[in-house]
Amino acid sequence: MRAMLKFLVQRPLIGALIAAPLVLLLLGAIVAVFIWARLPDLDSLTDYQPHQPLRVMSADGQLLGEFGAERRRFVPLKDMPKPLQDALLAVEDSDFYVHSGIDYSGIARAMWHNLLHPRSLQGASTITQQLARNMFLTNRQTLTRKMQEGLLAIKIEKNLSKEQILEIYMNQILLGNKAYGFGAAAERYFGKPLDKLSTGEIAVLVGLPKNPSGYNPVLYPERAKRRQAVVLGRLVAVGLVTAEQAKAAREQPLDVRRPKRLSGVADHAAEQVRAEMVTRYGEEAYTRGLTVTTTLLYAEQSAAQEALRHALFELERRQPFRGPEATLDLPEGDDLDEALDTAFDAYPDLGELRAAVLLKLDKNAAELVLSDGDQITLKGAQSLRPLQNLKRGAVLRVLEEGKGRWQLSQTPQAEGAVVTLDPATGAIRSLVGGFDFARNQFNSATQAYRQPGSAFKPFIYSALIEQGGWAGTLVSDEPVQVGDWAPRNYDGQYEEALTLRQGLARSKNMVTIRITEALGPQRARAWAARFGLEEEKQPLNLTLALGTGSVTPMQMAQAYAAFANAGQRPTAWLIDRVQDAQGNVVWKADPPKPQTAISARNAFMTSQLLAAVAREGTAAKASSMLGRWDLYGKTGTTNDAVDAWFCGFQASRVGTVWIGYPQPRSLGERETGGGLALPVWAATMAVALRGQPSTQLAPPAEGLVHEGDDWFYTEFAGDLAIARIGVKAPEPPASAPEADGQEPPPRPPINQ
């Protein structure tokens, strides 16, 4: 030893070369001990609780919406396909099951490669190191951070098994488009679960951890294909696939799905659920992995949304072309794609109503590009005439009529709402709150107070039935004038008298006004309130008869449900149950019990009048469209066609449709509830009632008398029923014999 020290003293340079690494090693050990003592706890890994989004489901198990910054589908390692696991390890960490957190041989290989190929540098981070960085550290390239990463990886390996580490990594890693973990990425990019992925799709996903944004197959499909080829080459090299399999996978086109925005078939309903969950659980609602099952039925909801959108598109066809939504300055060359991406971000697709940018226009055709990069051509005078004076860069809207056949369109300015309920329970089966949630988050189904027009009339008729009216009661149809108010019948025709059945079936305004006058506006308004319509929002005068108050579509659906449900008015409800990430039910609905609005006999008799409307009156189109005769309903059109309604039901379903402009104005001179709203109701009911047998409403066991074809309250049968309102009794014949002096007992006046 003495000789060695003497040698080093005599030769200081050699001594320094030997001492320096020892000093550095000692300093490194001291720093490592210092850093180790300050490493974070591993609770977030040992008790791994991944952030999972709030999911909203239909009653029949279809996804309606997701909310949360991270899209994640936790998949246990045992359910991860073995080919996916093997491919990931082959590409990211081939020595995963043998190293202790740091792959020293991998570091040596990377250093040697980087010396020989300085332009294509390689890293040597193990999966454990990547997990440590992802969970606890930043991506800053500093020596301290790299030491922390390595030491954390060693600590993780000491506390978790290899299977736990791999399971957390495969569920935690960001793979682009807000998709965390391979389960979410498979759904996000390919719309399928992991066990359905092809070899080529597995290669795309395995290639993403290296650069999730740069190899995003949605944004950069060519880069993704190049990265896929590299991954497939690696899989061939390690023997996981054959060269022939890799070649077939490379040649297979990628069927990549563009990520969908929140707006879907139940956008407004999903938002209603989101708001309720945040109220209950705070911001944790977005990360706890809650699954909310609603009462909505997916097929019925889809039909309601599609029918409403179709009606609004058809209404828009009858409007003049308003011009492009914007006109952009489009550059030529390589900058064009970036300019188009910016344009489509500002003007996104609205469901099937696609945004399109005009690239070229001549007298024979217009060339446009869609948000997914596809180019389309519009031809024909009808499509080209509105485009004559437009410039390159005009932002337009188009609809696909058939495979490859496009037509010019425009965003509807009108809005609408659809609500369908189970009349017995109040469970909401469909709820459409507007044309498109991305455009307008206002929920017209629950928030829009509008005039119901003639759809309000059944409540007036119901009030008269309670006083002794029946289907044959005669009511004057002659014009009414009160001061400056001179209402008219929609068809401009007036008759001396009509029965209640005829008056409601033909939606005669004069008949309803006479009934309201006989009842008194106060009594009529109070009776309508029994159906859940807010009394203070209805006028206290004769205009009440024409539906000049304010109601929401949801209120009208609940109100009409009372007719279908033997006078019991249900309270609508949407959320059935809430489950946590483990599938445990943390909340279950206790549906509200229906409240008595009217008697069962009143509901039955009023429904018979509504059946006449649906069979032979203003709603006859409903019966013919659906081909069934167990329907009941009423159209509604307000003055100047500002609001269009249809409210109707069958024994098992009640539905309301409203269409109008957000800022009230006329929908058009010829627009009506029967023309606009009724087809939406019929299309929705066609799905709701599929497979349902024809079911007529049955009369209650007590309280009614059936004479001929008509029904009467027992106490008002015969001469005690209301015979006429506003109509003079016929004079007895001049030759009639003298009365025997016996007169029937006087009937109490209506307004007592």
pLDDT tens-digit readout, 157-214: 888 899 999 998 999 899 988 889 999 999 889 989 999 999 999 999 999 999 998 8
What band does 114 get if pLDDT is binned at 50, 70 and 90? very low
Distances (CA, A) of 232 to 82, 123, 185, 190, 213: 16, 19, 19, 18, 20
The whole-number pLDDT of residue 408 equals 92
Catalytic status, residue 454: yes
Number of domains within the chain: 4
The whole-number pLDDT of residue 278 equals 95
CATH number assigned to the domain comprising residue 239: 1.10.3810.10
CB 323 within 8 Å of CB 396: no
- Asked if the structure places residue 471 within a domain, the reply is no
Average pLDDT over residues 725-742: 65
Q: Are residues 446 and 571 in the same domain?
A: yes
Q: Are residues 339 and 421 in the same domain?
A: no
Last residue of a domain, one of 675, 693, 711: 693
Q: Are residues 360 and 392 in the same domain?
A: yes
What band does 372 get if pLDDT is binned at 50, 70 and 90? confident
- Asked if the structure places residue 245 within a domain, the reply is yes
Please, what is the average pLDDT of the chain? 88
CATH number assigned to the domain comprising residue 279: 3.40.710.10
Catalytic status, residue 302: no
The whole-number pLDDT of residue 151 equals 77
* Catalytic residue, candidates 92, 157, 201, 671: 92
Q: Are residues 50 and 135 in the same domain?
A: no
- In terms of average pLDDT, the best of 151-155, 436-440, 490-494, 742-746 is 490-494
Q: Are residues 157 and 246 in the same domain?
A: yes
Residue 9 has pLDDT above 50, yes or no: yes
Contacts of 359 (CB under 8 A, 6+ apart): 330, 367, 368, 369, 375, 392
- Asked if the structure places residue 540 within a domain, the reply is no
What band does 519 get if pLDDT is binned at 50, 70 and 90? very high
Average pLDDT over residues 623-645: 95
Q: Are residues 600 and 683 in the same domain?
A: yes
What band does 352 get if pLDDT is binned at 50, 70 and 90? confident
Average pLDDT over residues 498-509: 97
Q: Are residues 64 and 74 in the same domain?
A: no
Residue 302 has pLDDT above 90, yes or no: yes
Instruction: Give the C-alpha separation, 434 to 705, whole Å.
Output: 45
Q: Are residues 587 and 654 in the same domain?
A: yes
Distances (CA, A) of 61 to 74, 293, 294: 18, 8, 9
Q: Are residues 100 and 205 in the same domain?
A: yes
- Asked if the structure places residue 123 within a domain, the reply is yes
Give me the helix-helix angle, 509-519 and 457-466, nearest 10°: 40
Q: Are residues 88 and 176 in the same domain?
A: yes
Q: What is the pLDDT of residues 638-671, one digit of tens each?
A: 999 999 999 999 999 999 999 999 999 999 989 9
- Asked if the structure places residue 134 within a domain, the reply is yes
Range of the domain at 187: 70-251
Last residue of a domain, one of 357, 378, 409: 409
Last residue of a domain, one of 356, 385, 409: 409
- In terms of average pLDDT, the best of 55-69, 115-129, 250-264, 559-573 is 559-573
Within 10 angstroms of residue 475's Cβ, the number of other Cβ atoms is 26
- Asked if the structure places residue 456 within a domain, the reply is no
Give me the helix-helix angle, 12-37 and 2-10, nearest 10°: 110
The whole-number pLDDT of residue 750 equals 58
Residue 66 has pLDDT above 80, yes or no: yes
The region of weakest confidence among 384-388, 443-447, 649-653, 739-743 is 739-743
Q: Are residues 205 and 90 in the same domain?
A: yes
Q: What is the pLDDT of residues 11-26, one digit of tens each?
A: 665 545 555 555 555 5
* Catalytic residue, candidates 263, 454, 476, 599: 454
The whole-number pLDDT of residue 219 equals 81
Residues β-bridged to residue 209: none
Share of the chain above pLDDT 90, in %: 66
Helix (H) or strand (E) holding 517: helix 509-519
